[in-house]
Copies of this chain bind each other. A is one copy, B any other.
Amino acid sequence: MSTVTIVGSGRMARGIAIRMLHARCQVRILGRNGEQTRTLVEELGPGAQGGYPGESIDGHVVVLAIPYADIRELVLEYGSGLDGKIVVDISNPVDVAGFDRLLTPPGTSSAEQTAELLGGRADVVKAFNTVFSGTLQEGRVAGEPLDVFLAGDSEQAKAVISRLVAGSGLRPVDAGPLRRSRELEAMMLLVMGLQVGDAHPHFNWDTALKILP
């Protein structure tokens, strides 16, 4: 049984943990907020354990369920502790004051920046940034499995994450190389803006973006 380490104990950590337990993984939640982490681990039940960021990573896969602004520090803190791992970047580097711009410079993406920080010593896969935490609990929307878009330069690493996604009841959609994260992140600037804008009051962080049919 594989172990998935999730750094972070917020809503996305919770949603991804629920899906990974569904995929019959062990889940380890590493959260700075000890109480929030304990509460989440208790809620998740059998298969879930807690710890603190900086503790060594069990298993091969680590999901960074932390804000874009915190990734750099976390990666530097781990140093060589992430070597050889598959690092999943789920972030949306969106300026939430206005939902009008990305925090990344044009022509790059959070996932590519994470890969650069890791200097090739770990494989970065972009995933889960296009799903909202609330929809992950159910795993379905309008009777269909959620789409989870993936991007990454290691086909092997992407295959591992694809299998976890599929095993958790969702549909993996392979968008291509890691640089496609630019479009995956741009897409969410738009979709997040729809949730807060006046034009569509019924979009309320409960939507899902899906390729049909």
A residues bordering B, Cβ < 8 Å? 100, 106-107, 141-142, 144, 149, 173-176, 179-180, 182-184, 186-187, 189-191, 193-194, 197, 199-200, 203, 206-213
Contact = CB atoms under 8 A, between A and B. Distances in A.
Given A183-B186, A199-B174, A213 B209 contact: no
Pick the 9 closest A-B CB pairs, nearest first.
A106-B106, A174-B199, A183-B190, A186-B186, A142-B213, A106-B107, A183-B186, A142-B212, A141-B212
A111 to B, nearest CB: 13
Given A142-B212, A174-B199, A180-B193, 16 more contacts: A100-B179, A141-B213, A142-B213, A144-B212, A149-B190, A173-B194, A175-B193, A176-B190, A187-B190, A191-B211, A194-B211, A206-B213, A207-B213, A209-B209, A209-B212, A210-B212
B193 A189 contact: no
A180 B102 CA distance: 11
Given A175-B193, A183-B187, A183-B189, A208 B207 contact: no
A56 to B, nearest CB: 33
A119 B141 CA distance: 43
A149 B6 CA distance: 34
A160 B160 CA distance: 47
Contacts of A190: 149, 175-176, 180, 183-184, 187
